[in-house]
Copies of this chain bind each other. A is one copy, B any other.
Amino acid sequence: MTVQGSRQTLLVTGASGFIGRHVVAALAARGHKVIALCRHAKSAGRAVADARIDWRSCDLLRPDDVERVVKETEARTLIHLAWDVKPGYWHSDANLEWLEASLRLVRAFRAAGGRRVVSAGTCAEYDWTDPDIVLKPIAERRARFAPLTPYAASKRAFHMALERYAPIAGLSAAWGLVFFPYGEAERPERLVPQVTRALLAGRRPETTEGRQIRDFLDVRDAGAAFAALATSDVEGPVNIASGEGVAVRRVIELIRAAAPSAEIAFGALPARPRDPHRLVADVRRLTEEVGFRSRIPLEDGIRDAVAWWRAHG
């Protein structure tokens, strides 16, 4: 059940980030007011300029900053997307600090009168060693959680604590488990930018055979999905994904169709044997309970991503 009629004020962390900028844009487009937090608000303001978006600087690792910001706002809903995602972040010790900062933020937000918290998690919170996930889409309430990396474990720890804390603290809480978003301003070390930029530079991209199946979602859809989740009253884990499995090879071929400069060296890189062959979400919670459906087909999304990299290098 969604409550999308009324206009609200929402507090968004990581608002200038890869997904965040599309969350705040989607919220503003729906007529909501957004307090958009990021470390450097000045530059962020240029990323998404909209009268309904109030950009503010806040370093979430500084307790004083957090106290100040939550007290200043009248937001009753918090969308917490900020995290350290510098290259190597899966195995970075910063994850423990961000877990701590996230707990502090939630406590401060609640103390200031907050009522709902929506946070960004990852499909790596699921048990990737479960043989079932190759056989059927991963459903939030049937699948097991067993994070293997410091990043996934810290996210899972946050959600595990939040899940039991929320009811006694009078909070409503949900968290999106993000599968494979792609699109503009994606970190250059990730698949789509890497292949795209190599092709645009006339280089021959080296990839795996690309037979693994993943659930890709245009980051604009991912942002809109978080906006829909936050303004709904759905609680607990919700997959943020398309629900459609696509071979990585197919994505690479779509990129090449949009930027046809060189051949792809498929198989030049070894497959990661410990990664699951298939990671596809069951999106019934997102579509039926939140009422969100992804709008951008993979072909269009990849074409737009390539165009973005063409313009932004």
Contact = CB atoms under 8 A, between A and B. Distances in A.
Interface of A: 63, 91-93, 95-97, 99-100, 103-104, 106-107, 144, 147-150, 152-154, 156-158, 160-161, 163-165, 168-169
A193 B139 CA distance: 45
Contacts of A163: 153
Contacts of A104: 100
9 contacts: A91-B168, A96-B106, A96-B165, A97-B107, A144-B144, A147-B164, A152-B164, A154-B164, A156-B160
A164 B153 contact: yes
Contact of A168 (B93, B144, B147): B93
Contacts of A152: 164
Copies in the complex: 2
A164 B99 CA distance: 13
Nearest to A161: B157
Given A91-B168, A150-B168, A168-B91, A161 B107 contact: no
A274 to B, nearest CB: 15
Contacts of A148: 164
A158 B100 CA distance: 10
